[in-house]
Structure 1
Amino acid sequence: MLFMNYLLYFILFYEINGLPQINLDLTHSISNIESNSSLQHDCLHVAAWIENEESDPYQIISYCMSEWPSKWNIKNNNQDQYFTFAQLYQLNISSEQLHLWSTPLDIIEYYELYLNHRLISNTSVVMAMNGFYNCTPPRFGPLCEYSLEMYQSDHLTLNEMIHEYYLHEYQPTTLTCYIHLECDRGSISLCLDWSEICDGIVDCRNGIDEEACWQLNMNQCEDNEYRCLNERCIQKIFVKDDYNAFECLDRSDERLPYPHTFVNTSSEPTFSTEDVTCSKRDTPFRVKMTSSCVKKRTALIEKLMFTDKPQNISNDCWLAIHCQWNINITSDLICDDISSDGNFTEIIDQTCPNMLYMPSSPVIFGHIYFLYTKEDMLEPNLYIPKPRYLCYNDQLCSGFYLNRTLLTFNNATCRRSEDFPLRFNLPNRLNGGMWNGMYALHSFTYLHQCNTVNHNEPLSCNTLNMYKCVNSSKCISKNLLCNEINDCDYKDDEQCSLIEDSYLNSDLHHFKQCTTQSIVIHATSVDDGICNCGLNEYGVCDDKEFYDNYIKTNILFPTICDGFTELIPVEIGERYETDETECDYWICNNSYTRCDGFWNCLNGADEVDCDPSPALSCPLHNHICVSPEIYQLMCLPLKQANDGNIDCVGATDEPQLCRSAQFSKGNVNIYCRNDEKSDCTTYENLCHDPVCNETNYDFCEKNWNYSSSVLIDSDIDKFFRQRKLEMDKLRVKIFSLGKINNSIKKNTTIIRLPLPITQEIIRQQQQHCHRGLLLRVWLDYEKNLTNETCLCPPSFYGNMCQYQNQRISLTLQFQTYADSRQTLFAIVVLLIDDSDNRLIHSHHQFSYLYIRDCQIKFNIYLLYLTRPKDEKKNYSIHIDIYEKISLTYRRSFLIPIQVSFLPVHRLAVQLNIPRTTDTIERCVNQHCIHGQCMKYSDHRNGTTFCQCNQDWAGRYCNISHHCSCSNDSLCTGILPNNRSLCVCPFNKWGSQCLFQSRVCNSNQNLTCLNGGKCIPTDEYIVSNKKFKCICQKGFSGVRCEIIDNEINLSFHENIKLSQSILVHFIEVFNDSPPINGSTYQMIPVNKRTAILYWSYPFHIVFTELDDKKYHLIHVQNTYHRSRRINKEIQSKDRCPHINEINQTLNQYHLLRL
């Protein structure tokens, strides 16, 4: 009875409290694979947080343990109730309940196997003795031996818990390291970051981080591909498609705000934070020291550079110099120990050598040091003094002044800074007096030719992507030309006017030809806060923000005669005209200008009577303003606005007094005038501006609160604050039908936010696990003995997630043909090698449904089976596509992995799923012993592979393997942990397809209405929608509950008709661009009618015939769903081309139409 009561309490506890599920995966230890530390085990699979389910990338992050649990001596659990499988069966406990109770997935699968074999297998007796521990939250795991330090009981889901944890910015106190390249940075404290390999800047003293990178320049992109600045290729469809999603590692595929030095690390470890680089070249006021996007890494590197003491320097000398120059001194007590009076010159004089490097490691490019003499050391200074000499490897840089006295120190050539020549900054506010901003930055900028990456590499120099420096064997990437940094010894790479046009014009993505001057600038210089092209005669900068320039140089209908001069004068005949000339007969109060907050009519007629709840009740056609007599709100008749007389405080009735003359964004809207001069200012300066304060002295004394810079009268304060500045005016107004209404109310999802985790707790956990999750291991619960380890995301590993992983970061997007847009697909992604075993290094599975996922990017991490990866092997990504309901094989794709030396491969591919009628190409290959030879889809080289029969695997299907997948699933290979790779039917999930997805099984007719087909959402996807309904034609909605709009078309006999038409639907918004959608509709033979259905809101619909003739079908200001529209298309419905309307008007310039 006690046993039953305990279990009942446990069930009710979970149901009432709604505790988060924490289901650990891959917990079964297998002795023969524990030696492989890179194999993923003890993992939590968590979906990255999604804000917009229709467009945000899909990504599952596996947080896994690097240490095998067998290393810990974990005592038996005597605190939590233990149930055998036999007992669970007797209590009618299902595997679904175990899943809800945070049971490890391996145990749930084993229990499901027991249930399936209980009566038919002799092993069931042995299996019945297995069981699970009923863990008390927050503990979980096979023995209840783990708990997450971030755990809080008020979280509803694990996803919510992890999302909140990562909202706190990453602030590391130690470095993470890439250890699979033997890099000597000249310091035992410094290590290489993966982003510093092939970033174009040498970091290792032996240059190994850039040694093989010349091979990237040999890479040629296809016609449909975009070449990233780092020489990698991505499909052009991914370029400038989402400013928050980068498919180029260096982020050059998206337009970045300036400065673009870092990324937001206050988010989960997804592609957008972990698989990007931030160039050292992009830092405005200091050398970044790394291409990592982690803000804190540069500061950590600088600190560690000054920590390492050379062996030939005494401790007293080293410490005295640090105290003398205030380097990394965290406490005065440290310096008091060697000198009580703060004078360290005697110690330096007696213990230090005549010369030393400070710091002791190279400052830049792996070979440039700062050398100081004892005279420098003895000089008291609040900051590190200017280095007396700069030392370098003279084989790696030249082009300096000749006939200068050189010094040799530690096998390096040294010369004075002024002999380069090189001028250092003095301490100032921007560099904070730090040596980086004063000395390292200028050394990095003006000695960049010493960054010799490709020195005498003939294969690389002869490629189209390279530029050969003059009078030198050195060559550099074409992408480094004209970037305001000297990479060639004689600076010819920045003499852009002398560089052959073929270098620059062949890649317009990375260079911009200025129109104001005959110069070319680098793409990274566009919109960087500096006008690099120079201003034209109208003050327009060619490389400024795109939309500003566009509106100044293009005629846009909504800006014509709107009261603001925005178009640069255009020569028409013998006159120059703008968008505000010849506006006498233009109606300024129209659907584009009405009630937008700006006086487009000079008297503000377009802004009267707009406020539904005004602060003052006025007659119609009156403005509200502040009386200059009594300093209260008053009503001003429209006829007194813009009459040349100032009737209101700040001249708000005469806005033209402060309106910009032309082409620029005005940021003032308050006018003041005294006897001597006039001035325009903002509301915030109304009582601070000298002229305005004098003009409005009485008003300011009576109404202004100088301590808080607000008006005492809240209504007057609100009036001034609501007045918009010209710079806030929308530069492009959107096409409008007037005030658009939508009868459909969009649901607002309210997300429950948990109590915040304190910043101090987060900081401590980050110090221990970096980008991973801190996990407490309960060794002995009774004695309260614990240990700490980490669950690391795929980009890291180690007991503290301190090592950076070699990985592939793959983005997939899919397109389907019309016959498959309601077909549910199973996508199986494998990382394989070219060995005879055809090892599957890692894998990922997900479902794809076009009507649900057409815009979705699928971000997938793939890891190698060994650390480091075997660079002698060739790796590829193999993708199988199956129809998930029937498990019919559709096709396979191959993506080869090139240039094996890269630590992170960033790939982005859009795949077209073949039609159902497309023939599967088979081949004849006698090596496919237990399988059949297949050709990869869309592979130009005709590459083939062996598709193995069940129970067989390997490159030639000659490796026998017993399939452990459920009978109704597919077995497609062997995984590294000796498990079968299973493809599940649509209503099952789990590694062996043993778990039922019952969301669609409960009652199909109630889940999806009107004959819709229910499809369960992937198990690990975090979504409020647990299923998707594939609706019958004519229905839509979450449950197919909505009757679609039905349009019945008939065509008059005088309309020339083909067998198909194109129908366009446009949805119009008040303040956003319209959305359009189109559909083809077949016309039956010998018929002149068609019936079509449309599931989405629309306001305009028209048809397009084969001869490019358009006919209007319907216009509505308010969208009504489930509406039936009957329309006969006649000649009068045709939308004529503008050339057909009036030939005389057609001859006019666009400004005069």
Structure 2
Amino acid sequence: CQYEMNYYNESQLSLYDIIHDYYNRYLSNSTFLTCYIHLQCIRGPSPLCINWREICDERVNCIDGKFDEEHCWQLEINECNDNEYRCTNGQCIPKSFFRDNRDIPDCIDTSDEYGIEDSRPSECYGGEPSFKCEDIGYTFYTLLNVCDGFVEVIPKRIEGKIETDETECEQWSCNNIYTYCDGIWNCPRGEDEIGCYSFSKLNCSLDHHLCVLPNRNRLVCLSIEKINDDVIDTENNHVFLNKTNTVLSKLTILETPQKHQHKCHRGLDLRVWLNDEKNLTTKNTCLCPPSYYGNQCQYENQQVSLTIKFQALSDSWSTLFAIIISLIDGSEERIIRSYEQFTYLSSRDCKIKFNIYLLYLTRPKDLTQNYQIHIDIYEKMSLIYRGSLLYPIKFSFLPVQRLAYIAIIPRHNEKLQSCSNSHCIHGKCIAYYNNPQNNTFCQCYPGWSGRYCAIPYTCTCSSDSICIGVSAYNRSICICPINKFGYQCLIAKTICQMNNNLTCQHGGQCIPADEYMSTSNKKFSCICPKGYSGDRCEIVDNKIILTFEDYMVLSQSIFIHFIAMTSILTGIARRRN
């Protein structure tokens, strides 16, 4: 093994268990400084920087210009369809997703699940990086917003006066029980944060701030009189504090954690072995979650966070599908920037909303490209192609896209809409099933890629699989048969080759577990024939068989009603006894 984790114990059966236990054991209470560096923006004196959640938050956070609010008008004028809910920030989600799961909002501003009186879920503070916490912009109004210099409450007329959260502020002290030691400078010189750093052995007087020497991690005391005095206070040419008119947030303040320090911010600390024989190791490296990157996971990633729910018609209720979701661009190469593949079974997964991260190939992303989400659907058993879906990505200026869709799987034997595109050199023209703006694409033959299937590549998939394209890293994208797995479909899955009595009973179809889907220890699942149910099709369903004599004349339609009869008198007699 090339990688080693120091926090493994015998009770952990999978990598999922290791990660879950690690974050439960070591809650991160650090406001470790993370930055979004792909926008021209001076947030304040170093080490302050912009956070992606501060982009399009209706505040100008860049003190050198309005760069963080420059394109946000596009969200304000965005219109949604009748079957969609419009988030407060202007983005659209399916209307059926509104108020459907309080734990996982679909709007990036959480407006579909949370009200203004709510707060961020407690498990999102320092816990395991999750889809519901990492890519959400929580912008709730609290007492901390009162008299902070920004009007965040709609003006209301109260007793003849127009009132907001910024009126009569002369009666609201910046240093009060709500602002004291909250990690935010609410007073011009930070009087509300003096004496709040109990972790330090350096005791500063009541008129001094505890400051960090950036490049040396050394703590010093700085007089409050030197704050905002138009003079840069330095030692060895390193800035301690500088004048700023910016209201700082918890997301942009450097603070030394008091408990277990995460060297990798929200990531995992790994040791990489270079030479097993000589017992040599490198310095520890960081395994970052999708939302971050960098040697300490200190930079915020540009990404697409996709929530998607599939729906299949009744003829496909028991059909296992292979779903491939790709982030593509509009270039001649039609590069697949990133992709995810998993299996879908409607009888098992019809209520599941899949949460998927798609990352861009370069940092920063190429803003000249027209990015889209392309979905291919194949029947897993027969590897027959069912169809493709296309979803455009609007608002390319947003660093994080949180998109939500409902995808309809084409019915069995539905005729694919063909098209005439003479530019498809080594492929055929296919119309998208959901057909937004009558879009089409060239479905390339194995060994060819690009917008017009003119770029050759060597397919490395196994002979019994299907090669549907090549990733940006020149790796073939393979759809494996049901009994194979691995990125080249070369590894056999033997669980379903066992005795059927040990897997699925009564002729049920054994399906090996999809590691992408499952967090349990189940190795397989069963597709049961009619009349049977249960995890292994071991339960015989109750049924009523109706037969008619040959001489009876039957109409074309018969309505049959089943009525359950219970005796009230019997129930009364039982209670008396």
Q: TM-score range by the shorter chain?
A: 0.7 to 0.9
**Which residue of the partner structure matches residue 191 of structure 1?**
49
CA contact (8 A) 2:210 2:220 kept: no
> Is 1:909 the equivalent of 2:405?
yes
Assess, with a 3 A threshold, how the Cα gap between structure 1 residues 936 and 178 changes in structure 2: closer, same or farther: same
TM-fit CA distance, 1:917: 3.1
Q: 2:338 maps to which residue?
A: 842
Supply the distance in 2 between the matched residues of 1:166 and 1:976 (Cα, whole angstroms).
32
Residue number among 318, 325, 339 corresponding to 2:207 in the alignment: 325
1:1019 matched residue in structure 2: 515
The alpha-carbon distance between structure 1 residues 1036 and 282, as it changes in their structure 2 partners (threshold 3 A), is same
Q: 1:965 to 1:246 in 2, by over 3 A?
A: same
Tell me: CA distance 1:841–1:1011, structure 2 relative to 1, closer, same or farther (3 Å): same
- Offset of 1:188 from its aligned partner? 1.5
Q: How far does the alpha carbon of each residue in 1:536-575 deviate from its partner, in whole angstroms, 9 at most, with x for none? A: xxxxxxxxxxxxxxxxxxxxxxxxxxxxxxxxxxxxxxxx
CA distance in 2, matches of 1:161, 1:761: 24
CA deviation profile, 1:658-714 (whole Å, cap 9, x unmatched):
xxxxxxxxxxxxxxxxxxxxxxxxxxxxxxxxxxxxxxxxxxxxxxxxxxxxxxxxx
Check 1:883–1:359 CA distance in 2 against 1; reply closer, same or farther (3 A cut): same
The correspondence for 2:534, drawn from 1037, 1056, 1079, is 1037
Which amino acid counterpart does residue 170 of structure 1 have in structure 2?
S
Return the alpha-carbon distance in structure 2 between the equivalents of residues 769 and 921 of structure 1. 49
Residues 972 and 982 in structure 1, CA contact (< 8 A), matched pair in contact too: yes
Contact 1:227 1:233 in 2 (8 A): yes
Residues 1015/202 of structure 1: CA separation in 2 closer, same or farther (3 Å cut): same
Contact 1:163 1:267 in 2 (8 A): no
Give the one of 227, 252, 269 matched to 1:774. Answer: 269
CA offsets 1:97-118 (integer angstroms, 9 cap, x no match): xxxxxxxxxxxxxxxxxxxxxx
2:472 is aligned, of 955, 972, 976, to: 976
Contact 1:934 1:944 in 2 (8 A): yes
What secondary structure is seen at the aligned counterpart in 1 of 2:19? helix
CA contact (8 A) 2:526 2:537 kept: yes
For 1:1036 and 1:951, the matched residues in 2 are separated by 43
Instruction: Return the match for 1:270 from 126, 130, 134.
Output: 130
Relative to structure 1, the CA distance from residue 223 to residue 828 in structure 2 (aligned partners, 3 Å threshold; closer, same or farther) is: same
Indicate yes or no: 2:250 matched with 1:361.
no
- TM-score under structure 2 normalisation? 0.79
Shift of 1:998: 1.1
Q: Secondary structure at the match of 1:327?
A: strand
Q: CA deviation at 1:352?
A: 9.5
**Structure-1 residue corresponding to 2:384:** 888
Residues 334 and 842 (structure 1), Cα distance of their counterparts in 2 relative to 1, 3 Å cut: closer
Find out whether 1:164 has 2:21 as its counterpart.
Answer: yes
What's 2:314 paired with? 818
What's the CA shift for 1:282? 1.3
**Is contact 1:931–1:949 with CA below 8 Å preserved after alignment?**
yes
1:238: which partner in 2?
97
Q: C-alpha distance in 1, partners of 2:182/2:477? A: 46
Give the number of aligned pairs: 499
Retained in 2: the 8 A contact 1:259–1:284?
Answer: no
- State, as a whole percentage, how many aligned pairs show the same letter: 47
Q: Describe the shift of the 1:243–1:1049 C-alpha distance in structure 2 as closer, same or farther (beyond 3 A).
A: farther
* Counterparts of residues 650-1049 of structure 1 (less than 5 Å): 763-764=260-261, 766=262, 768-778=263-273, 786-1020=282-516, 1021-1048=518-545
Residue 804 of structure 1 deviates from its aligned partner by: 0.6
Give the aligned partner of residue 606 of structure 1.
none
Could you tell me which amino acid in structure 2 is paired with residue 169 of structure 1?
L
Deviation at 1:173, TM superposition (A): 4.6
Question: Which amino acid is 2:102 matched to?
Answer: Y
Cα distance, 1:253 vs structure 2: 0.8
State the alpha-carbon separation in 2 of the partners of residues 798 and 1116 from structure 1: 71
Task: Supply the distance in 1 between the matched residues of 2:54 and 2:351 (Cα, whole angstroms).
Answer: 33
Q: Would the alpha carbon gap of residues 324 and 922 (structure 1) be closer, same or farther in structure 2, given more than 3 Å must change?
A: same
Q: CA, structure 1 residues 828+328, in 2 after alignment: closer, same or farther (shift >3 Å)? A: same
The secondary structure found in structure 2 opposite 1:328 is strand
Shift of the alpha carbon at 1:988? 1.1
CA drift of 1:186 comes to 2.4
Give the aligned partner of residue 672 of structure 1. none
Post-superposition Cα deviations, 1:644-667, rounded to whole Å, max 9, x if no partner, equal xxxxxxxxxxxxxxxxxxxxxxxx
Task: Structure 2 unaligned segments of length 5 or more: list them.
Answer: 151-180, 191-203, 213-218, 233-240, 251-256, 569-577
CA 1:334–1:857 in structure 2 vs 1: closer, same or farther (change >3 Å)?
Answer: closer
Q: Is the 8 A contact 1:323 1:329 kept in 2?
A: no
Match of residue 118 from structure 1: none
Q: RMSD of aligned C-alpha atoms? A: 3.5
Q: Secondary structure at the match of 1:946?
A: strand
Structure 2 residue aligned with 1:1112 = 563
SS, match of residue 982 in structure 1: strand
| 3-state secondary structure, aligned to 2:358 | strand
2:82 is paired with a residue whose SS is coil
Distance 2:275 2:492 in 1: 36
Distance 1:1116 1:761 in 2: 67
Q: 1:1059 to 1:1025 in 2, by over 3 A?
A: farther
Which structure has more helix as a fraction of its residues? 1
User: Counterpart of 1:166 in 2: which secondary structure?
Assistant: helix
The whole-number CA distance in structure 2 between the counterparts of 1:866 and 1:354 is 42
- Give the letter aligned to residue 89 of structure 2: N
Contact 1:150-1:774 within 8 A present in 2 as well: no
Structure 1 contact 185–361 (Cα < 8 Å) conserved:
no
The C-alpha deviation readout for 1:410-468, integer Å capped at 9, x for no partner, is xxxxxxxxxxxxxxxxxxxxxxxxxx9xxxxxxxxxxxxxxxxxxxxxxxxxxxxxxxx
Q: Is the 8 A contact 1:289 1:301 kept in 2?
A: no
- Aligned equivalent of 2:35: 177
Q: CA deviation at 1:276?
A: 0.9
- Residue 210 of structure 2 aligns to which amino acid in structure 1? N
Matched residues in 1 for 2:11 and 2:149: separation? Answer: 42
SS at the partner of 1:285? helix
Whether the aligned pair in 2 keeps the contact of 1:1000 and 1:1014 (CA below 8 Å) is yes
Q: Could you give the per-residue CA deviations for residues 337-371 of structure 1, whole angstroms, max 9, x where no partner exists?
A: x9xxxxx89xx6xx9997779972123499xxxxx
Counterparts of residues 241-252 of structure 1 (less than 5 Å): 241-252=100-111
Query: Superposition pairs for residues 602-613 of structure 1, below 5 Å?
Result: none
| Deviation, structure 1 residue 914 | 1.5
| Aligned residues of 2:229 and 2:243 also touching (Cα < 8 A) | no
Q: Superposition pairs for residues 1049-1088 of structure 1, below 5 Å?
A: 1059=557, 1061=559
Residues 189 and 227 in structure 2, CA contact (< 8 A), matched pair in contact too: no
Distance in 2 of aligned mates of 1:184 and 1:829: 37
AA of the residue aligned to 1:1027: F
Q: Per the alignment, in what secondary structure is the counterpart of residue 438 of structure 2?
A: coil
Task: Spell out, residue by residue over 1:356-414, the C-alpha distance to the aligned partner (whole angstroms, 9 max, x if none).
Answer: 79972123499xxxxxxxxxxxxxxxxxxxxxxxxxxxxxxxxxxxxxxxxxxxxxxxx
Q: 1:918/1:763 Cα in 2 relative to 1: closer, same or farther (>3 Å)?
A: same
8 Å Cα contact 2:510/2:526 also seen in 1 = yes
Going from structure 1 to structure 2, the CA distance change for 1:234 and 1:353 (only over 3 Å counts) comes to closer
Distance 1:305 1:270 in 2: 36
In 2, Cα distance between equivalents of 1:267 and 1:842: 27
Specify the alignment match of 2:171 in structure 1. Answer: none
C-alpha separation in 2, matches of 1:1057 and 1:820: 29
Change in 2 beyond 3 A, CA 1:303/1:256:
closer
The within-5 A match list for 1:353-752 is 360-364=243-247
Listed one character per residue, the Cα deviations across residues 1023-1075 of structure 1 (whole Å, up to 9, x for unaligned) are 23221111111111111111001134589999x976254xxxxxxxxxxxxxx
